[in-house]
Structure formats: structure tokens, C-alpha cells
Amino acid sequence: MHDSNSTIKPCRREWLRHAGESFNWLALASLLSRDPLRAAEELPASETLQPSLGGELLVRPDGGLHHRPRVRRVIQLFMNGGASPMDTFDYKPALEKYHGQSLGPKEKPEGFTAPAGAVMKSPFKFQQYGQSGRWVSEVFPHQAKWVDKLAFIMSMASKTNVHGPGSYMMNTGFTLPGFPCFGAWISYALGNLADNLPTFVVLPDPRGLPYNQRGNFSSGFLPVKYQGLMLNAAAAEPIPNLRPASQFGFAQGSADQQGLELLQQWNESFAAEHPHDPQLRSRIAAYQLAAKMQLSAPEAFDLKSESATTLEQYGLNQPTTEDFGRRCLLARRLVERGVRFVQVWSGPQGAANNWDNHGSIIGELPPIAASVDQPIAALLADLYQRGLMEDTLVVWTTEFGRTPFAQGSVGRDHNGGSFATWLCGAGVKEGVSYGASDELGYQAVEGKAYCYDFHATLLHLLGIDHKRLTFRHAGIDRRLTDVHGKVIHDILV
């Protein structure tokens, strides 16, 4: 016989899934009380919000989920296409020695687009910078000045040599589609810092979406509202649906404002008729927050209040840096106003204008590098100058590296074996480096780190134990870090 107790089983996942009711309360609670200073007293004492729920999802008064956070907001700079490590941050003098020799794999490895060519030295000059003496190539003269503030992971590796799976992996921890990305996980876990702006904003390259299109910003099996809000930074009104389009004359001006007031009145009386339905209250709250967003968002996206000096520092006065500079500046404005996570993409998918330099490292890398270099340096300076680095983290990432072997004569192929990333800001050691690739920069050999370790480290900084941030999906308590992940404490303060 079946257990007759089974009729009532309000276990954790039921609450999570039971979105119409308790979960929306949770959402409401999140939206209203994400500011840790307000968190404690403003949580509604609803019976549907079980205290044990807090074990997983309710933010502690200090703003973390499991421990005290060092970081409250994150800007991720994503170099789309596989930024070459040995031509940027991973100086490999041995490439000079072996230049022209056939040392690569004899057969085409899975995911390489062509058989490996001969070893190819970097066409760029490297130089040491700062007290840390970090080697940086001439393609990044501006970031080079900041090496004493950066913490490098020089031994990143991917499970794949293919863009699609590789981009999924760096964003979601899995090589297949359908999984929530990092931004969705932290939106789900921590919610926002302010209630008048979105939680997770994506600023793609206006020339086109990255590989996997919007799959990289997906909430996967988490509720759809946790996905990244993709904005066109160049649009007049970057947040969609903020105002009715002008063609709808009946919806403008006072009709808009008075209509919203009427709506709230009628929704209130409807809620009064159905006093025990929490769904109705959370919907009312959503409209109230929408109204707040209408007021706040335009200001957040309006760069007019920025000084000419600032605009110049971000490179908005030069065609090369104008676009990425604008998006970096927007990222700063957004995190400053309480957006939790901003992802800024450099380069669209495809064979040009990105970091996927199959054809020619010397021809294709310098322009894309120049487009981001000065804006990134300006962003760091700006964040420090405004004191935002006290609780902001900036990370520089890509989906995999490139081969030390030539593709064609002067290009490089995909290589999941080794790539570089850096972190900067709250909770991160300054001027350090972790791990190493081999002599050629082909494989990570020392302190090999996957996205799991990278994500675990980011979550740790945000006050989250990556092993305890889970969501039950299809019979598995899924994690951002799958069954892996180790916080890289060596680079943390």
C-alpha cells in the first residue's frame, strides 16, 4: 500500500515551484527587501513564506546567502570567440625557440577546425609591468598599467574546443543548452540591490549576438524572470516597453498615468474581494515596481550627466573605443544604481570583429583588443575613484584559448586546453597570479581551473556556498558548478 501520509508533502521544492502563490511572495519579498539593511524587518510574515525556505534562499542581513559577502555586484567582460592567451597575458618565450616546428597533435583533435600547424610565436612584443612584473603584450597597453590591481588565473581550461558548448560552459557550467547562466543563478539567489532597475543586464555587442545567441543569458530551468535582460545600449530607450510607442496616441500622457492609477485601484478592490490570494498582491507589487522603473531607468541610461573627461577616458570620443566604452560606462552606472550583475560582450559571433582569430593573429587581434583596452582601464579607474570597488567585482573572461600552433600561416585555432582570465575588485588579491600553462601555452598544467572553480570563487565572494545553491530539476538538485568546483582561495584576500 502507498503511504497515506503522501497527500501532504510541502517540502522545499514544492514551494519553489509553486510559483503562483508562495513563490511570488518570495519574489515580492525579494524585490522589496533585497537591500540587506532593510531585509530583516521588511520580510512579510506570511504563513506561505516558511522560515525554513530561508535556509536556501533568503538573504542574510549581511547580504550573503551562506556567509558574509565581499562582493555585492559584478561586471563581467566577455571576450567572445576565444581570446588568445599567448598573444595577450600569457607570455611564452619558448614559442620563439620552437617557432616553425611541428610539435602539435598529429591528428585533428575533436573540435579543432583544422589540423594543427607548426608552432607560431606571438607577433607582439611583451613587456613587464608594475611591481608585480606581470608580462603583458603590446595589444593591451592600458590594462597593462593595472596589473598590480588584477588577480590572474593563468590555468583556465574548457571541456570543449567548440564555441557553442564552450560559451555555454563559461556561462552556465554545462556544455549543453538548457542550464541557467551565472547571472540567472545569482538573480535567483540574491535578487537585486535596488527595486527600480533590473537585476541582471546583458549588453551584447551591437554588431551581433554571441555564439548560442541568447542561450548564454538564459535562466534555463530557473523561472524565466531570472534570465538576463538584453539591452541595446545604443537605443533611445534601452529598457523595452518602458513607454508606449508614439503610434498609440490613446496611451500617452495623462491617459498613461491615470490609467495606471485606475488599474491599481481596481486591482486593490479585486484583491479585497479575494483577500487570501497572495498572487494578487504580488502582481500589484510588480506594477508598482514597474512604475518605479519607468522613473529611474531613463536616468540610469542617460550619459549626459557624465563629464567630458569621463567620456574621453572611456574612449567615447574615438571610433575604435566608442561602443565598448559606452557599454562599460553604462555598466558602471547600472551597478552604481543597484543592478546586481552586468555582462558586457566584446565581439559578435562569426568570423570577424571578435576574438576568434583563425585567419590572422597579427591582423585580427589588435583591432578588437584596442576596442576594449582603454575602456576597461577607464572602468577600473572609475570604479576605484568612486569607491565602488569596495563591493564590486570586475572579471575579464572568454570561452577558451587558442593554439600555440598556427592555423593557416598566421592564425590560431580553438584550444580548450588553456586560457587566461582576471578578476579585480572587492575581496580579490592585487597583483597576483594563479596557475600556469605549459611551456607553449597549450595545456594548463599547474592549478588547472575550470569554469566550476571560477564560478565557485565568484559565488564565494558573493556570500554563496556553490555547493548549497541548488535547484531541483528533473530529479537532480542542480548546481551552477555541477558536481565540481573549488574556491580558488589563493587569489582571495
Partner 1 sequence: MRPPIFFRAVRYLVAMLWLLLAVNIHSECVFGQEPAANEVPAENAISERPDSNAEQLDPVQVAFFEDNVLPILKERCFSCHSHDQEISGNLALDFASGWKVGGDRGPAIVPGKPENSLLLQAVRGEIADLKMPPEESLSPEQISTLQQWITQGAIDPRAARAETTATEPWWSYLPIHAVTPPTSDVNAQHPIDAFLNQKIHEAGLTTNPIVERRTLLRRLMIDLHGVVPTSEELIAFQNDNAPDAYERVVDRLLASPHYGERWARHWFDWIHFADTHGFEHDVIRIHAWPYRDYVIQSLNADTPWDRWVREQLAADAFFPNRTDLIPALGFLAAGPWDHSTAATAQTTFDYIDRDEMVTQVSSVLLSSTVHCSRCHNHKFDPIPQSDYYAMQAVFAGVGRGNVPFDRDVTVGARRQAARKLQQAAEARDASQLLTITVQKMVADWEQRNQQQRTQWAPLLEDMVLALEGTEIKVLDDHVVLATGPRPATETCIVTGHTDLSSVTGIRLQVFRDDSFPMGGPGRNDNGNLHLNEFIVEHLKEGSATPVRVPISQAMADFDQTGWTIAHAIDGNPSTAWGIFPEVGKDHTAVFQFATPLTLGPKDKLIVQLRQLHGGFHTIGKFRLTLSSDNNPQQTLLPQEVIDALAIPRDQRSDVEQLSLAAFVAKQQAIEVLNSLPSPSYVYATAPQFESLTESPFYAPWTTPKKVHLLKRGDIAKPADEAVPGVMSCLTHAPSRFQSETIQNEAQRRMELARWVTHSDNPLFWRSIVNRLWQHHFGRGLVDTPNDFGRMGSVPSHPELLDWLANELRDSGGSLKHIHRLIVTSEAYRRSSELRPEVSSVDPDNRLIWRGPSGRLDAETFRDSLLYLARSLDQQTGGPAAQWFKLGPGIQITPSVDYTNFDWSQPVAHRRTIYRFVYRGIQDPFMEALDFPDAAQLTPIRTPSASPLQALALWNHDFVLYAANEIATYCRRQQADDPVGCAFRTLFLREPTEQERLKANEFTAQHDLAALIRVLINSNEFLTFR
Report in angstroms how near the CB of residue 251 gets to partner 1 at its nearest: 5
Report in angstroms how near the CB of residue 369 gets to partner 1 at its nearest: 20
CA distance 478 to 221: 10
Smaller CB distance to partner 1: residue 245 or 308?
Answer: 245
Please state the length of the chain.
493
Report in angstroms how near the CB of residue 193 gets to partner 1 at its nearest: 15
Is 394 exposed, middle or buried (CB count within 10 Å of its CB: 0-12, 13-18, 19+)? buried
CA distance 348 to 209: 5
Smaller CB distance to partner 1: residue 12 or 99?
Answer: 12
Report in angstroms how near the CB of residue 467 gets to partner 1 at its nearest: 6
Report in angstroms how near the CB of residue 335 gets to partner 1 at its nearest: 18
Smaller CB distance to partner 1: residue 183 or 223?
Answer: 223
Identify whether the C-beta of residue 77 lies closer than 8 Å to the C-beta of residue 395. yes
Strands (DSSP E) along 259-350, which ranges? 341-346
Smaller CB distance to partner 1: residue 32 or 423?
Answer: 32
Neighbours of 251 (CB within 10 A): 13
Smaller CB distance to partner 1: residue 53 or 426?
Answer: 53
Report in angstroms how near the CB of residue 304 gets to partner 1 at its nearest: 23
Report in angstroms how near the CB of residue 220 gets to partner 1 at its nearest: 6
Neighbours of 91 (CB within 10 A): 21
Smaller CB distance to partner 1: residue 308 or 483?
Answer: 483
Is 40 exposed, middle or buried (CB count within 10 Å of its CB: 0-12, 13-18, 19+)? exposed
Half-sphere exposure of 216 (CA within 13 A, CB side): 29
CA distance 123 to 146: 23
Smaller CB distance to partner 1: residue 96 or 477?
Answer: 477
Smaller CB distance to partner 1: residue 123 or 298?
Answer: 298
Strands (DSSP E) along 347-410, which ranges? 392-398, 401-407
Report in angstroms how near the CB of residue 207 gets to partner 1 at its nearest: 7
Report in angstroms how near the CB of residue 141 gets to partner 1 at its nearest: 29
Identify whether the C-beta of residue 140 lies closer than 8 Å to the C-beta of residue 150. no
Report in angstroms how near the CB of residue 69 gets to partner 1 at its nearest: 21
Q: Which of 476, 481, 444 is nearest to 466 (CA)?
A: 481
Smaller CB distance to partner 1: residue 341 or 450?
Answer: 450
Smaller CB distance to partner 1: residue 132 or 294?
Answer: 294
| Strands 200-203 and 229-230, bridge-based pairing | parallel
Report in angstroms how near the CB of residue 130 gets to partner 1 at its nearest: 31
Q: Which of 350, 371, 436 is nearest to 152 (CA)?
A: 436
What backbone phi and psi angles, to 5 degrees, belong to 20? -60, -30
CA distance 204 to 231: 7
DSSP string, 63-106: S-SSS--S-SEEEEEEETTT--STTTT---THHHHHTT---S-S
Smaller CB distance to partner 1: residue 64 or 223?
Answer: 223
**The three cell numbers locating residue 387:** 569607491
Q: Which of 220, 228, 222, 81 is nearest to 164 (CA)?
A: 81
